């Protein structure tokens, strides 16, 4: 009897397991109260037992299919007009049913904290929450999770927009959706997938990085981390072989009472990402589970965490947009984004307008639009609370460009052209018929610069869609800029009251302010320029902003270095150092990265020094100078016996190593016991060591200072004189 009972129990367990395996399931992006996209093919998918027949019924349509060998199934509903509510029914060996489903407009809303910012944290929260009675607006909040591998589901559910559900939802998304609903009078679905403080890279799928040549380094990195890729398998196999060989030797050493060797270093490029700031990890967990849900478009509010990257952010926006359009199989996916608002970040005042410049460049991507917010920010609050206007301006983009309401003015004034006319600079704006100021005062935040490269405040006169600039301090303008500071809240608007966006135009001398500060540099030719405040690397090679080495011909008679470091208050420190040539190889005078193979630890002659930094002795020094240029690590011992140098601290005479990639680019006046300038550890980017004069800490040559990112801006120029 007991045996029969056990057989029965086993059969019952098998039946339960088979039933569980055969149960029809769907991802949580499908559910009661959801909105499906109108006027587009609508994919509907899920899982069941392999080869199980599935029937999907919705709004008069019936679609049939069968699960594939892995249990995945998908059907496509034909395009539908807006309406509802309807019931979505899915059946196989089991059945699912979702009620109160509407057909309308679906938007993905993503970004960092300004997109995540809630309705209850915005202006007039009590009033807005009480008024949020919109049963035909549906919302779904994707939880904040990361993953190294693409996921197929999220723990989320659709809700009806109401005073009970809207307080914690994205304010920018809600106010955008509300404007769309009020105008179109059809259902709107809003998917909020955002996470405060995040960069753009984690939201981007691998195919997005693959589409942009400038980001091939990230793409290669992702390929190595992909356990299914051939590159990953090859490197992992090689690592395993090394460990196996080490293990064999180690076992023999243990048996023979011998000393053990350390195990091989595991390839770090194979290790999974560990931070929510790293490429694809948020896409995998917070976007991929939604793919290929039918969407009309996406709104995006992000960029603060990529501040300092300048036009590289444009390449990353390309990758994000290309990637999302590819994975959602929607080449026309609308993409509207918010240009960042003013905020005092405390350092590098130009980093914000440089990101804004990259955002404007992204408008060259088809089916995109930008909501400028220069006038609704708060320089003391990185989260401006007027999200109502942010949502409205995003909605203007969609209503005009996606929904064809061409009578709506949606674009802010953007720079169109620059004409230099004697002592005046004439700026023409597009997206403006009649420029004006929102406060009735004279327009502000325009600057012009002449041959000295120094920008000065400009007087501005508005003439319809042009602004005429002049300045008593600039005889012949060469370049202009507008709102080029992170605290700029300019008052220039178009006839619709939309604010003009930051820009710069014209061409300054490549050497910037050098000639105005150091007239003695007039006979030098520029060879290289690099941004030392945020140095960029391509593998082992420094990335120069300017590289003119191929244009230099003839014997080198003098080599010079000009370092300028800007502070948050707008002032700058600078130093110009010229010397007799230490090499005739033009490739060796730049930043001595590993790729260049430069290595110099020697005295230099006829040193000319000019600086505005207190304590630095200016003048010409026939002797007493030395340089330390190499791409490897180094130690504190005074290996070169530099007079007056310490053997305990990093200063004017250090010991170069044969390995590592820390790197040293230092010029000293050892006779005066002074570091003239130092640029070390450039591979660390904004954590590089950087300074003019002796460092205030123990290491006079700035070693371990890790301070480059603390400067507001910087420029390192390398120049030569030819015989």
Question: 15 pLDDT band (50/70/90 cuts)?
Answer: very low
Q: Would you say residue 194 has pLDDT above 90?
A: yes
643 lies in the same domain as 699: yes
DSSP code of residue 52 = -
Distance CA 196, CA 358 (A): 21
Predicted confidence (pLDDT) per residue in 216-239, tens digit? 999 999 999 999 999 999 999 999
pLDDT for the residue 454: 85
538 lies in the same domain as 500: no
Give the pLDDT mean for 559-575.
91
226 belongs to a structural domain: yes
| End-of-domain residue from the set 506, 532, 563 | 506
639 belongs to a structural domain: yes
pLDDT for the residue 17: 42
499 lies in the same domain as 596: no
645 belongs to a structural domain: yes
Q: Which range marks the domain in which residue 470 is found? A: 414-506
Residue 239 phi, psi dihedral angles, 5° rounding: -65, -40
Q: Would you say residue 11 has pLDDT above 50?
A: no
Mean pLDDT (the chain) is 94
Total number of domains constituting the chain: 3
Distance CA 678, CA 171 (A): 47
531 belongs to a structural domain: yes
| End-of-domain residue from the set 462, 483, 506 | 506
587 lies in the same domain as 623: yes
Give the pLDDT mean for 158-175.
98
Q: How many CB atoms lie within 10 A of CB 23?
A: 16
Give the pLDDT mean for 17-38.
84
Residue 588 tokens, joined: 């060796």
Predicted confidence (pLDDT) per residue in 354-372, tens digit? 999 999 999 999 999 999 9
Predicted confidence (pLDDT) per residue in 296-321, tens digit? 999 999 999 999 889 999 999 999 99
Give the pLDDT mean for 51-76.
98
Distance CA 102, CA 613 (A): 68
| CB contact at 8 A, 692 and 543 | no
Give the pLDDT mean for 459-479.
96
Question: 445 pLDDT band (50/70/90 cuts)?
Answer: very high
Question: 346 pLDDT band (50/70/90 cuts)?
Answer: confident
559 lies in the same domain as 690: yes
134 belongs to a structural domain: no
501 lies in the same domain as 520: no
CATH number, domain of 420, equals 2.60.40
495 lies in the same domain as 574: no
566 lies in the same domain as 484: no
451 belongs to a structural domain: yes
Q: Would you say residue 444 has pLDDT above 90?
A: yes
CA angle, corner 647, sides to 596 and 676, nearest 5? 55
538 lies in the same domain as 429: no
CA angle, corner 681, sides to 676 and 685, nearest 5? 110
| End-of-domain residue from the set 223, 240, 266 | 266
| CB contact at 8 A, 613 and 693 | yes
| CB contact at 8 A, 494 and 432 | yes
590 lies in the same domain as 693: yes
Q: Would you say residue 323 has pLDDT above 80?
A: yes
Q: Would you say residue 13 has pLDDT above 90?
A: no
Q: Would you say residue 183 has pLDDT above 60?
A: yes
* Choice among 8-12, 324-328, 624-628, 641-645 with the minimum mean pLDDT: 8-12
Question: 3 pLDDT band (50/70/90 cuts)?
Answer: very low
* Choice among 381-395, 400-414, 503-517, 571-585 with the minimum mean pLDDT: 503-517
Q: Would you say residue 18 has pLDDT above 70?
A: no
594 belongs to a structural domain: yes
253 belongs to a structural domain: yes
Report percent pLDDT > 90 for the chain.
Answer: 91
pLDDT for the residue 509: 86
Question: 723 pLDDT band (50/70/90 cuts)?
Answer: confident
pLDDT for the residue 567: 85
532 lies in the same domain as 600: yes
pLDDT for the residue 513: 87
pLDDT for the residue 21: 52
564 lies in the same domain as 438: no
């Amino acid at each position: 009897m007991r045996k029969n009972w056990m057989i029965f129990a086993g059969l019952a367990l098998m039946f339960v397991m088979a039933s569980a395996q055969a149960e029809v399931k769907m991802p949580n992006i499908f559910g009661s109260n959801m909105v499906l996209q109108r006027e587009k093919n609508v994919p509907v998918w899920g899982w069941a037992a392999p080869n199980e027949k599935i029937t999907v019924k919705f709004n008069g349509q019936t679609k049939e299919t069968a699960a594939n060998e892995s249990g995945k199934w998908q059907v496509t509903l034909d395009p539908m007009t807006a309406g509802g509510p309807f019931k979505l029914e899915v059946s196989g060996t089991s059945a699912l049913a979702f009620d109160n489903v509407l057909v309308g407009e679906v938007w993905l809303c993503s970004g960092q904290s300004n997109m995540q910012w809630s309705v209850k944290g915005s202006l007039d929260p009590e009033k807005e929450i009480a008024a949020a009675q919109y049963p035909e607006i549906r919302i779904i909040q994707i939880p904040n999770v990361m993953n190294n591998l693409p996921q197929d589901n999220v723990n989320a559910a659709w809700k009806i927009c109401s005073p009970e559900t809207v307080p914690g939802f994205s304010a920018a998304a809600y106010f955008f959706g509300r404007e769309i609903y009020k105008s179109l009078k059809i259902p709107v679905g809003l998917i909020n997938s955002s996470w405060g403080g995040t960069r753009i890279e984690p939201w981007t799928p691998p195919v997005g990085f693959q589409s942009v040549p400038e980001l091939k380094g990230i793409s290669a990195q992702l390929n190595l981390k992909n356990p299914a890729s051939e590159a990953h398998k090859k490197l992992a196999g090689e690592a395993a072989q090394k460990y196996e060989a080490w293990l064999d030797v180690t076992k023999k050493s243990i048996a023979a009472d011998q000393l053990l060797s350390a195990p091989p270093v595991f390839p770090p490029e194979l290790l999974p990402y560990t931070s929510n700031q790293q490429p694809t990890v948020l896409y995998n967990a917070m976007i991929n589970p939604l793919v290929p849900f039918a969407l009309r478009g996406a709104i995006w509010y992000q960029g603060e965490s990529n501040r300092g990257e300048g036009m590289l952010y444009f390449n990353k926006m390309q990758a994000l947009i290309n990637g999302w359009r590819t994975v959602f199989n929607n080449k026309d996916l609308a993409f509207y984004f918010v240009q960042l608002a003013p905020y005092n970040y405390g350092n590098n005042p130009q980093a914000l307008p440089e990101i804004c410049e990259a955002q404007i460049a992204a408008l060259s991507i088809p089916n995109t639009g930008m909501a400028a917010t220069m006038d609704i920010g708060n320089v003391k609050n990185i989260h401006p609370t007027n999200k109502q206007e942010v949502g409205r301006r995003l909605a203007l983009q969609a209503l005009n460009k996606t929904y064809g309401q061409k009578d709506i003015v949606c674009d802010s004034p953007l720079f169109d052209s620059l004409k230099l006319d004697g002592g005046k600079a004439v700026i023409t704006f597009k997206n403006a018929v009649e420029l004006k100021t929102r406060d009735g005062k004279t327009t502000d935040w325009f600057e012009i610069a002449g041959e000295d490269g120094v920008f000065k405040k400009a007087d501005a006169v508005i003439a319809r869609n042009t602004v005429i600039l002049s300045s008593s301090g600039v005889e012949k303008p060469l370049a202009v800029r507008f709102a080029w500071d992170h605290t700029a809240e300019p008052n220039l608007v178009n006839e619709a009251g939309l604010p003009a966006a930051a820009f710069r135009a014209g061409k300054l001398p490549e050497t910037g302010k050098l000639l105005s500060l150091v007239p003695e540099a007039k006979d030098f030719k520029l060879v290289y320029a690099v941004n030392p405040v945020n140095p960029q690397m391509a593998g082992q090679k420094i990335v120069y902003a300017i590289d003119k080495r191929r244009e230099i011909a003839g014997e080198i008679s003098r080599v010079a270095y000009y370092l300028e470091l800007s502070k948050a208050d707008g002032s700058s420190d600078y130093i110009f150092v010229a010397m007799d040539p230490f090499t005739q190889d033009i490739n060796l005078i730049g930043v001595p990265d590993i790729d260049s193979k430069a290595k110099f630890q020697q005295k230099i002659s006829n040193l000319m020094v000019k600086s505005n930094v207190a304590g630095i002795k200016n003048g010409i020094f026939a002797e007493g100078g030395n340089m330390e240029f190499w791409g490897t690590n180094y130690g504190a011992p005074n290996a070169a016996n530099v007079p007056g140098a310490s053997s305990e601290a990093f200063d004017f005479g250090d010991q170069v190593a044969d390995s590592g990639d820390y790197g040293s680019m230092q010029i000293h006046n050892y006779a005066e016991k002074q570091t003239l300038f130092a640029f070390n550890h450039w591979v660390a980017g904004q954590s590089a060591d950087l300074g003019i004069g002796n460092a205030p800490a123990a290491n006079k040559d700035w070693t371990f200072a890790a301070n480059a990112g603390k400067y507001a801006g910087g420029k390192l120029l390398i120049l030569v004189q030819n015989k």
